[in-house]
Amino acid sequence: MEMSKRIETLGFVGLGVMGEPMCLNLTKKSRMPVYATDARPDPRNRLGEAGAKPCASIVEVAENADVIFLSLPSIAEVAEVCLGKEGILAANRRTHTVVDMSTSSVKGTRDLADKLRKEGLTLIDAPVARMRQAAWDGTLSIMVGGSTEDFDLVRPFLSHMGSDVTHCGGTGSGQVVKILNNMVVFMTVNALAEALAIGRRAGVDGALLFDVMSKGSADSFALRTPGLKALVPGNFPENTFPTDYAIKDIKLALELAEQGGIDAASAALTYDLLQKTSAAGYAQNYYPAMINLIEADRRSH
């Protein structure tokens, strides 16, 4: 490994629903100092008690960490953390590599990587999939975009947070795979919500319907998790995977489709339903709340 690519310290920015448990696993398993920050003091304090080194600012993280992992809402926040006046580039930095574990725009990721490269920083995209419990368990699926050398550099650390770490290609490729993964899940949940509404109206119990489907060719993760655990009981809590997050992700997929000249008509229908779900008051609820709009349409006819 080049001297400039030595890794003796790590950093983490963004200690939210997924970021906090990811950082916790990195802290416990890497046996390296992990400098962590978030706008909120509570997760910083909890991670400090678990052995991380809580920091008051991004600049403080960048002054101490060789590699910084980010878990943030979108490319806008990622760019601000990297380029902003109180961001990584503003520090007398030690950092040489930034790993974006957010779900971000492919074009935005590639553009940001070009800007950071000119400043001597490497950006690797490594978005994550699976539920919050997987973040706590360290069993996330992580899709990585970057050179083979970059992937080899950070793979050991990503393996502390995920059980499936896949090199998907060059910069931005991890985002492509993650965005399309989410697109398919949202479309599948849309189909399940329609099937559940139709089945109930025809007099079949929803739990029975999905149980039987899970034993046949309609089985899927979406059926067994958001299907049986959310759609059937009508359980759509906040702080799980909000409708507005789903809208952001499927919009990224539609932008990618447009850039490739693909008419993603089915995905567009799901996007439209999610927008209606948000407008109906479910913006912060778990996105399978879309069934409420489907059943409302049924009742209105």
- DSSP code string of 269-292: HHHHHHHHHIIIIITTBBGGGHHH
Cα 170 to Cα 13, 98, 113, 123, 248: the distances in Å are: 23, 15, 11, 11, 23
**Residue 40 to residues 43, 78, 223: CA-CA distances in angstroms?**
7, 17, 35
Quick one: CA dihedral 65, 69, 73, 75, positive or negative?
A: positive
* Token pair listed for 19: 């970021």
Catalytic annotation, pick one of 28, 178, 229, 248: 178
CA atoms within 13 A on the CB side of 289: 26
SS3 sequence of 116-139: HHHCCCEEEECCEECCHHHHHHCC
Distance of alpha carbon 7 from alpha carbon 165, whole angstroms: 19
Residue 234 structure tokens: 């009508």
Active site residue 251: no
Three-state DSSP state, 141: strand
Asked if residue 138 lies in contact with residue 171, where contact means CB atoms within 8 angstroms, the answer is no
Length of the chain: 301
Q: Which two tokens stand for residue 211?
A: 């149980």
Active site residue ranges: 178
